[in-house]
Each structure stands twice: as structure tokens, then as C-alpha cells.
Amino acid sequence: MMPPVSREFPKNIPPKIALPTVGRIVHVFHPHSVYQQLAGIVAHVAEYDTLKINVTVCNHDGTTGPLQGLKHASLPRNAGEPYWDWMEFQKGQAAKTEELEAKLKHQFGEGATFSSTSEIRKQQADVPSPIDGKQ
């Protein structure tokens, strides 16, 4: 006998977040700043926790300063503690990439990997057109 199928969704799924790398630009949210967000350049990614970074923050007047051990917006933190997140544009680009990857996996199979745009185009050229069946 098969076990009953659960209709419940998993709780507290960790969000899919692009890992930060040195040199990337992020938004820094600091509770003591009168501005919504500040620009930050990733200076170091902590080895033990890939969503914790050190940044050089660019203040509204152009001066810079360091912030160390900055946690991502999705991580638990103390009240009033500054945090970082990707810019909306970066989140949008990531969503477009994920959408394209899903389409390619659907079209070419789950195990398909592509090393370049030209390889993807070559693979697409070998697939019959859904309109006329020609390649």
C-alpha cells in the first residue's frame, strides 16, 4: 500500500540567492542612514558563510567606509544591524537566466549543459521548428 500523498508545501524554504563575489556591486541598507540604500563594493566573501561579506560602502556624499561581516537580507540579524542585498536589476537578470535555463532543460533534457552561446545556438539549430518541422 502506498503512503498518502501530502498536499502541504515545505515551510521555510531558503531563497535561491546568487553568491557574492569580490568586485560586485550590492545595495547596503543601514538603519542609521537617512537614504534608502547605499552602494557597496564586495571586498571579501567570508569563507565559512558565503552570504556574509565585507564591503566598501559609498556614502551619499561620495566618501567611502568599510563594513565587515555584513549579512544578506535573508539571514537572521539583530535589530538595527545593517545588511546587503542584490540590486533589483541584478535580481531581474538572475530571473531571466533561470527562465532561459528552465526552457533549455525542457527542450534538451535535464542533463543538458552548454558551455557557450554558440553551442546553444547549434543545439537549437538541430531541433525541428514547431511551426513547419524543418531545421
Quick check: 133 pLDDT over 80? Answer: no
Angle of CA points 65, 62, 80, to nearest 5°:
50
Quick check: 50 pLDDT over 70? Answer: yes
> For the residues 27-42, what does the mean pLDDT come to?
88
Measured between alpha carbons, how far is 127 from 13 in angstroms, rounded to an integer? 36
Percentage above 70 pLDDT, the chain = 65
> For the residues 74-83, what does the mean pLDDT come to?
89
C-alpha cell at 117: 552561446
Residues 6 or more apart from 19 whose CB is under 8 A from it?
45, 50, 51
53 vs 97, higher pLDDT: 53
Residues 6 or more apart from 107 whose CB is under 8 A from it?
124, 127
Measured between alpha carbons, how far is 114 from 25 in angstroms, rounded to an integer? 27
Quick check: 65 pLDDT over 90? Answer: yes
Contact 21, 42 (CB under 8 A): yes
pTM: 0.60
Among the listed residues 29, 79, 108, 57, the one whose alpha carbon sits nearest the alpha carbon of residue 100:
108
Quick check: 134 pLDDT over 60? Answer: no
The confidence score (pLDDT) of residue 102 equals: 76
